[in-house]
Amino acid sequence: MFVTLVMVLVDKETGTAEMINAGHTMPMQRFSNRPPRLWSGKTVAPLGLYENIEPVTERLDIPVGGSLVLYSDGVTEAFDAAGEEFGEQQLLSLGGKPRSYEECFLTNIRERLVEYTAGAEQSDDITIMIDQYS
């Protein structure tokens, strides 16, 4: 048995974040002036797979107007009726909506997932958390 983990400590004054990722999905970074991207920092193995795993702390700056999106693999691994995964690219495309859409970002993801998975059973939990830096 194992568990994935992502732990983030954000300084709300500066937008600086320290993150430990143990096999969890890569967070999405959203920006006010360029397309979103998946975080590309270091991760370690999920907890419980190996003994004596040393966590790696990564630093990340969330720019003003940007956000950090944490999500469970149930988002990107949601299946449609034909068995195709929603995937990271579709999530990234939703992350690139104009800033005026920011307050509805979670609603937009939820609606797209509901549409995408119509006719298919939910295969995993779907969890999303956004840390917006203004």
In tens, the pLDDT along 70-103 reads: 999 999 999 999 999 999 999 998 887 655 555 5
CA–CA gap between residue 98 and residue 33 (Å, rounded): 9
* Bridge partners, residue 132, by sequence: 67
Position 49 pLDDT exceeds 90: yes
Reading the block at residue 126, the tokens are 């779907």
Higher pLDDT, 99 or 110: 110
Distant-in-sequence, close-in-space partners of 130: CB < 8 Å, separation ≥ 6: 67, 68, 69, 70, 105, 106
Q: pTM of the full predicted structure?
A: 0.87
Q: Does position 123 have pLDDT exceeding 80, yes or no?
A: yes
Give, for 70, the enclosing helix (H) or strand (E).
strand 67-71
What is residue 3's predicted lDDT score, i.e. its pLDDT? 92
Please report the sign of the dihedral spanned by the C-alpha atoms of residue 57, residue 63, residue 131, residue 38: negative
pLDDT over threshold 90, residue 7: yes
Quickly state the pLDDT bin for 16 (edges 50, 70, 90). Answer: very high
Q: Kindly state the percentage of the chain with pLDDT values over 90.
A: 66
For residue 108, the model assigns a pLDDT of 84
Q: Specify the pairing of strand 28-30 against strand 128-132.
A: unpaired
Take residue 16 and report the two structure tokens written for it.
Answer: 């600086």
Q: Which domains does the chain have, with CATH numbers?
A: 5-132 (3.60.40.10)
- Residue 103 has a pLDDT of 57
Mean pLDDT of 39-52: 92
Per-residue confidence (pLDDT) for residue 99, from 0 to 100? 53
Count of residues making up the chain: 134
Q: Dihedral, CA atoms, 128, 89, 73, 133, nearest 10 degrees?
A: -30
β-pair type (128-132, 67-71): antiparallel
